């Protein structure tokens, strides 16, 4: 399903109205239960095709998502994961239009046991504009944040707001949402969300956590270039806008499709597992 702007506005109201409370929800079977796809040391590599918009014009877009579980005990993470392991995600996006080129690369690491953010590095070049977000030591209440637009960079200390909500990175949602695919009860929850460079709230000027609501629903059957799949749909609403993610209802619940309020749409082309860390070509 492709949402129109009125439908997205209605979803924002519905999701925000139905999500409340500060209590942190925990998946009934743990983050991934007893079946973690990346325990074998392989990386999951998925490719996507779709479109983006500049003004009123649409342009093709391609993306690549790599997910792996790695030993980071020797990495320079401040207060890093206690068990020495972390999930690593790398997302790259390219829109090849020569007049309005759009490219982004985001790398994030999440604590193995609960998917709390550890570190994020992101850069996006869109036309003449360059936006950068870098954050470290994100597992603490306060964390160091560097953000920049147009070559002007500023280092500050950001804070996760008080309360027992989960801390979530937009760029990590393709993995973070998977922990909720096995729940039998409806999912409606509020989180503190750090916008990414691909999200509707993306901006080097707006790189602080925001109040967000997440709702899961039956996504029906989704047709993408990789095939037809029964899907679960997650709507992430914040700042008056909503982004939608469709995940495969079957294990290992890979991301099938994403549609943002800022007109980025991506659909799964292929997914495969490779031994060891996957290198970008």
Is 277 among the domain residues? no
Of the pLDDT bands very low, low, confident and very high (cuts 50, 70, 90), residue 26 is: low
Mean pLDDT (whole number) for 145-167: 81
Q: State yes or no: pLDDT of 152 exceeds 60.
A: yes
Does the residue 201 lie in any domain?
yes
pLDDT at 241 over 60: yes
Percentage of the chain beyond pLDDT 70 is 72
pLDDT of residue 30: 56
pLDDT-derived band at 133 (thresholds 50, 70, 90) equals: confident
pLDDT digits (tens, 9 = 90+) for 208-232: 788 999 999 999 999 999 999 999 9
**132 in any annotated domain:** yes
Q: Which residues contact 131 (CB under 8 A, 6 or more apart)?
A: 123, 124, 147, 148, 149, 197, 202, 203, 204
Task: Give pLDDT, residue 20.
Answer: 47
Lookup result for tokens 């759009």: 102
pLDDT of 97: 61
Return the beta strands (E) in 77-126 as ranges. Answer: 85-95, 102-111, 117-126
CB-based contacts of 98-106 (< 8 A; 24+ apart in sequence)? 100/54, 100/57, 100/59, 100/126, 100/127, 101/125, 101/126, 101/127, 102/52, 102/54, 102/59, 102/61, 102/126, 102/127, 104/197, 104/198, 106/171, 106/196, 106/197, 106/198
Query: How many structural domains comprise the chain?
Result: 1
88 to 116, 127, 170: CA distances (angstroms): 12, 28, 14
Mean pLDDT of the chain: 79
Residue 279 in any domain: the answer is no
Has residue 278 been placed in a domain? no
pLDDT at 171 over 60: yes
Please tell me whether the peptide bond between 252 and the residue prior to it is cis, using omega within 30 degrees of 0.
yes
Mean pLDDT of 36-55: 86
What pLDDT does 38 receive? 85
pTM of the model: 0.82
pLDDT at 146: 79
The answer to whether residue 205 sits within a structural domain is: yes
Give a yes or no: residue 150 inside a domain.
yes
What was the pLDDT predicted at 4? 52
Q: Which residues form the domain of 238?
A: 5-272
Report if residue 115 sits inside a domain.
yes
């Amino acid at each position: 399903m492709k949402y129109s702007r009125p439908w997205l506005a209605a979803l924002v109201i519905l999701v925000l109205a139905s999500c409340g409370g500060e209590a942190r929800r925990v998946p009934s079977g743990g983050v991934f239960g007893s079946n973690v796809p990346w325990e074998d040391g392989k990386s999951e590599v998925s490719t996507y095709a779709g479109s983006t918009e500049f003004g009123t014009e649409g342009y093709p877009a391609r993306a690549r998502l790599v997910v792996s579980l790695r030993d980071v005990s020797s990495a320079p993470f401040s207060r890093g994961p206690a068990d020495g392991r972390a999930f690593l995600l790398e997302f790259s996006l390219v829109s090849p239009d020569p007049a309005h080129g759009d490219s982004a690369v985001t790398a994030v690491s999440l604590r193995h046991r609960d998917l709390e953010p550890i570190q994020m590095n992101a850069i996006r070049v869109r036309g003449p504009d360059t936006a950068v977000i870098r954050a470290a030591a994100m597992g603490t209440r306060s964390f160091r944040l560097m953000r920049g637009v147009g070559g002007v960079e500023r280092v500050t200390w950001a804070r996760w707001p008080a309360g027992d909500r989960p801390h979530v990175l937009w760029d990590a949602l393709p993995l973070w949402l998977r922990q909720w695919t096995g729940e039998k009860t409806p999912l409606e929850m509020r989180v503190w969300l750090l916008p990414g460079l691909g999200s509707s709230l993306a901006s080097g000027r707006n790189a602080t956590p925001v109040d967000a609501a997440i709702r899961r629903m039956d996504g029906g059957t989704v047709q993408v270039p990789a095939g037809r799949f029964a899907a679960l749909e997650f709507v992430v609403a914040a700042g008056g806008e909503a982004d939608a993610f469709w995940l495969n209802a079957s294990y290992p619940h890979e991301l099938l499709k994403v549609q943002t309020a800022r007109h980025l749409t991506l659909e799964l082309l292929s997914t495969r597992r490779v031994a060891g860390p996957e290198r970008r070509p």
